Structure formats: C-alpha cells, structure tokens
Amino acid sequence: MTHQVQTKQRAAVHEVMEIMAKEHMLFLMNRYHMGPEEMIDLYTGHRPEFATYEDALHTLLAYRSLKGFRS
C-alpha cells in the first residue's frame, strides 16, 4: 500500500469519526439539552467556565479516538 493511499484512508476515517462525533453532539444537545461545557465535563471530568461547541467536538474526538466509537 502506498503512502498516498494510506493518507487518503486516514483522511476518510477522520472524516467519518468527525461526522459521528457531530451526530453524538447533536444527540446530547437535543435529548439532554447539554451545552458545550457539560459535554466536556461528561468526557473529561473537567468543566470549563467557557467553551464552544467546537471545543466540545475536539474533546469528543479525542475521547473517542482513545476509546473507540463504542457506546
């Protein structure tokens, strides 16, 4: 397998992981009315005073990349 193919595969995997993380964020927002601070707290145990949904997305991606996308 060439380096270029591996790079494309990694980009595709990252894109799918990001889509799944966004869907999970929407679920938390709609079902549990969570804000970004609450989402970050849920996955890290640390609740920032101010956070954006982009911060929450990065936190969820980091958590899921370590744990895998299992419920």
70 pLDDT tier (thresholds 50, 70, 90): low
Position 69 pLDDT exceeds 60? no
pLDDT tens by residue, 5-43:
889 998 998 899 999 999 999 999 999 999 999 999 999
The pTM (predicted TM-score) of the whole model is 0.81
35: nearest Cα among 22, 51, 20: 51
